[in-house]
């Protein structure tokens, strides 16, 4: 992937993010994009105000951030990091964070949820196990599917509207549904590139004629096995 194509793909991804957020939320701003000169590195951010139905006062914000790079084959756009953070407006403290780090260390899952809250029973258990931060739930990284099967922004948006009760625009469900289908198709394509032999076997079981080309790559399980 040439640098110009990389930047174009990032802009397209940001535009797709805009379509989702602006279809769901009133006052959703355009996603800002910053490219690193001469490098295949870019950042896209959005800060969405959230309201209760019929209320004009901002109660919280959904902060969205993506960092992009090339994939391991240097052929496709890849998300290096993503952060979807629900933040209280009154004191700007995080409530819950949905994060992904492509280059994560083994000490925490690459795709995870962090909850900023304090619960006595859990704190007691963690203190008994010798945990370094027993009173901070945000110190726990709850795994959510790794590189290939992690949550998408559409999942978080639906959580914000349905579970948390923030106001969504008319037909927001359609935007979420369409975006989620596209995301999972793209993740499926990436998974197939990781596991071409497995994908070919599955298609043969369905009656497709699949012939591997000369020099076809073997299955690579690193991303599938990632925590």
* Contact status, residue 101 vs residue 110, Cβ threshold 8 Å: yes
Task: Give the strand pairing for 42-50 and 94-101.
Answer: unpaired
Residue 126, pLDDT above cutoff 90: no
Residue 220 lies in a domain: no
| Distance separating alpha carbons of residues 110 and 86, to the nearest angstrom | 19
Confidence tier at 223 by pLDDT (50, 70, 90): confident
Phi and psi, residue 108, nearest 5°: -150, 155
Q: What is the pLDDT of residues 200-216, one digit of tens each?
A: 999 999 999 999 999 88
Summarize pLDDT for 51-86 with one digit per residue, the tens: 988 888 999 999 999 999 999 889 999 999 999 999
Total number of domains constituting the chain: 1
Which two three-digit tokens encode residue 77?
Answer: 């756009």
Classify residue 224: in a domain, yes or no: no
Predicted confidence at residue 68, as pLDDT, reads 98
Residue 221 counted as domain residue: no
Q: Which of 106-115, 170-179, 210-219 has the highest mean pLDDT?
A: 170-179
Domain residue limits at 85: 3-194
pLDDT at position 194 is 94
Cα distance between residue 31 and residue 50, in whole Å: 16
Strand partners, 82: 66, 100
Looking at residue 111, what is its pLDDT? 93
Residue 118 is assigned to a structural domain of this protein:
yes
> Could you tell me the pLDDT band of residue 22, with boundaries at 50, 70 and 90?
very high
Element housing 20 (H / E): helix 3-24
Three-class SS state of 113: strand
Residue 207, token pair as written in the block: 């009656």
Rounded Cα distance between 14 and 20, Å, is: 10
CB 66 within 8 A of CB 81: yes
Percent of the chain with pLDDT over 70: 99
The residue among 49 and 217 whose pLDDT is bigger is 49
Please state whether 54 falls in left (phi above 0), alpha (psi between -120 and 50) or beta. Answer: left
pLDDT band at 137 (very low <50, low <70, confident <90, very high): confident
* Cα distances (Å, whole numbers) of residue 38 to 6, 75, 188: 11, 17, 30
* 208 domain-assigned: no
Q: What is the pLDDT of residue 105?
A: 74
Residue 76 DSSP one-character state: S
pLDDT by residue (tens digit) across 172-206?
999 999 999 999 999 999 999 999 999 999 999 99
**Model confidence, pTM:** 0.85
Q: What confidence score (pLDDT) does residue 226 get?
A: 84
The token duo for 65 is 């951030």
| Cβ neighbour number for residue 175 with a 10 Å cutoff | 19
């Amino acid at each position: 992937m040439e640098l110009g194509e990389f930047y174009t793909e990032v802009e397209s991804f940001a535009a797709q993010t805009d379509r989702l957020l602006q279809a769901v939320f009133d006052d959703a701003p355009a996603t800002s994009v910053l490219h690193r000169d001469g490098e295949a590195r870019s950042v896209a951010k959005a800060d969405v105000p959230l309201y209760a139905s019929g209320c004009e006062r901002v109660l919280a914000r959904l902060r969205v951030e993506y960092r992009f790079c090339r994939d391991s084959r240097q052929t496709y756009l890849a998300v290096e990091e993503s952060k979807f953070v629900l933040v209280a407006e009154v004191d700007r403290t995080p409530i819950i964070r949905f994060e992904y780090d492509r280059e994560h260390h083994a000490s925490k899952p690459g795709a995870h949820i962090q909850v900023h809250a304090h619960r006595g029973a859990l704190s007691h258990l963690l203190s008994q196990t010798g945990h370094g931060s027993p009173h901070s739930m945000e110190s726990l990284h709850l795994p959510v599917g790794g590189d290939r099967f992690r949550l998408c922004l559409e999942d978080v948006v639906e959580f914000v509207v349905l579970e948390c009760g923030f106001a969504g625009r008319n037909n927001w469900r359609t935007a979420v549904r369409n975006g989620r289908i596209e995301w999972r198709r793209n993740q499926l394509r990436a998974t197939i590139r990781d596991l071409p032999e497995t994908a070919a076997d599955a298609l043969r079981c369905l009656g497709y004629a699949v012939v591997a080309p000369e020099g076809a790559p073997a299955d690579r399980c690193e991303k599938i096995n990632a925590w």
